[in-house]
């Protein structure tokens, strides 16, 4: 019996798709599609980090056209269809990976469990970060720059490479503008009551709990939202459970639309209704970039060079700078001074929206 276990469609435990659809066997099968390379991506981290790593997929496809791409992560639902085998980070999947040989395996996280996994998998070539004596370490020179920015603030502040540039370098590729891959699998499943005759501006009012120093003041959101509505924009408030009470209050006082907070796929579809998104550095920023929305990004505690906007928007920062590089709490506020985020005035962001509005399809 001839079995093409190297075929893209071969499963081993159940019939393959061509057999189920056409009744064919491996011998003489016209659907036979040999896999030349098996490639593993280990990227467990936050949803936003996973999204901004997806540009690697097209680079891998170009270098290895007949490859089978595996990706193990905590957030399987966000992975695009261009990933062949999507695996959540579980004991059974780790066990399966340990018994699979890869031509190329890369770990792009510095979390210990991710580094340990790269140690344990079998691969002809490994890239990224491994666990060495219980601590993360770069596997080769390509990973040294990204590693150093994570342990030395001065090197991180001096960095001029975007995150995609850094990750491509770690993986052994060259970044040349490959876009995020983010699908809207919830498209057309919800009728959103937005005014499509107007430019729809989505306001992502929160920033998560890890770095509250990024948060724009509530009174600024209120003044800015009111200004947008007076300027005839259709305003939609965005956020998760943490932002629910803030967004409810903001909607009541300004008249902005707030539909509630939703599971990830529905939230992506809501962002897809927007022409412009205003946000701090959050998951919503990456969702907006992935769906190719115009973007106004408010940033204070991070290196602005980290963010690849693909020409879709602009970054607004405090005029007085920021004293809190990657710090959760504002130093100035602790000292009784005015936080730097109050230097970003509502009028500044309104002007930015007006600039970005000229690039939307509705303005053309």
Given this model, what pLDDT does residue 326 score? 80
The answer to whether the CB of 208 falls within 8 A of the CB of 242 is yes
Cα separation, 205 vs 236, in Å, equals 11
Average pLDDT over residues 197-207: 95
Q: Where are the beta strands (DSSP E) in 133-261?
A: 135-138, 200-204, 234-238
In this model, does residue 174 exceed pLDDT 70? Answer: yes
Average pLDDT over residues 190-206: 95
DSSP element (H, E) containing 294? strand 294-298
Band (pLDDT 50/70/90 cuts) for residue 185 is confident
In the chain, list all ranges with CATH 3.40.50.2000.
Answer: 35-171, 200-363
* CA 165, 43, 47, 321 torsion-angle sign: negative
How far CA 266 is from CA of 103, 128, 194, 212, in Å, comes to 36, 33, 15, 25
Cβ atoms within 10 Å, residue 75: 20
Give the pLDDT confidence of 8-36 residue by residue, as tens digits: 999 999 999 999 999 999 999 999 999 99
The answer to whether the CB of 108 falls within 8 A of the CB of 167 is yes
Given this model, what pLDDT does residue 289 score? 98
Give the pLDDT confidence of 137-147 residue by residue, as tens digits: 999 999 999 99
Cα separation, 344 vs 299, in Å, equals 10
Tokens of 351: 């002007």
Given this model, what pLDDT does residue 363 score? 67
* CA 255, 261, 267, 269 torsion-angle sign: negative
DSSP 180: P
CATH assignment, 200-363: 3.40.50.2000
Cα separation, 77 vs 87, in Å, equals 10
Average pLDDT over residues 318-327: 83
Given this model, what pLDDT does residue 194 score? 96
Tokens of 198: 């107007």
Average pLDDT along the chain: 94
Average pLDDT over residues 286-305: 95
Which class is 35-171 in CATH? alpha beta
Which has more confidence, 98 or 188? 98
The answer to whether the CB of 290 falls within 8 A of the CB of 272 is no
Give the pLDDT confidence of 232-274 residue by residue, as tens digits: 999 999 999 999 999 999 999 999 999 999 999 999 999 999 9
Band (pLDDT 50/70/90 cuts) for residue 275 is very high
Given this model, what pLDDT does residue 310 score? 98
| Strand pairing report for 135-138 and 122-132 | antiparallel
In this model, does residue 301 exceed pLDDT 90? Answer: no
């Amino acid at each position: 019996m001839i079995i093409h276990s190297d075929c893209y469609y071969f499963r081993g435990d159940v019939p393959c798709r061509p057999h189920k659809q056409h009744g064919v066997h491996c011998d003489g099968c016209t659907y036979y599609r040999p896999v030349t390379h098996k490639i593993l991506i280990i990227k467990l981290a936050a949803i936003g980090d996973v999204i901004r790593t997806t540009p690697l997929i097209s680079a891998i496809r170009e270098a290895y056209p007949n490859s089978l791409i595996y990706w193990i992560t905590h957030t399987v639902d966000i992975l695009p269809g261009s990933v062949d085998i999507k695996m959540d980070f579980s004991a059974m999947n780790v066990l399966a990976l340990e018994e699979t040989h890869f031509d190329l395996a890369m770990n792009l996280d510095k979390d210990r469990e991710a580094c340990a996994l790269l140690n344990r998998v079998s691969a002809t070539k490994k890239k990224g970060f491994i666990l060495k004596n219980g601590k993360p370490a770069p596997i080769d020179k390509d990973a040294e720059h990204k590693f150093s920015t994570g342990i030395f603030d001065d090197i991180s502040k001096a960095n001029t490479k975007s995150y995609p540039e850094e990750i491509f370098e770690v993986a052994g590729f060259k970044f040349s503008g490959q876009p995020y891959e983010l699908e809207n699998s919830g498209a057309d499943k919800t009728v959103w009551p937005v005014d499509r005759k107007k430019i729809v501006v989505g306001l992502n009012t929160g920033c998560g709990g890890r770095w509250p120093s990024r948060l724009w003041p509530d009174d600024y959101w209120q003044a800015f939202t009111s200004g947008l509505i007076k300027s005839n924009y259709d305003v939609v408030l965005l956020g998760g459970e943490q932002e629910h009470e803030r967004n409810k209050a903001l909607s009541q006082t300004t008249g902005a639309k707030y539909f509630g907070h939703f599971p990830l796929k529905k939230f992506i579809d809501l962002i897809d209704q927007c022409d412009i998104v205003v946000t701090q550095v959050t998951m919503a920023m990456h969702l907006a970039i992935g769906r190719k929305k115009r973007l106004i990004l408010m940033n204070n505690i991070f290196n602005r060079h980290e963010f690849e906007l693909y020409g879709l928007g602009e970054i607004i920062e405090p005029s007085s700078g920021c004293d809190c590089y990657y710090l959760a709490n504002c130093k100035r506020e602790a000292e009784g001074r005015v936080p730097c985020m109050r230097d970003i005035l509502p009028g500044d962001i309104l002007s930015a929206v007006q600039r970005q509005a000229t690039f939307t399809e509705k303005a053309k």
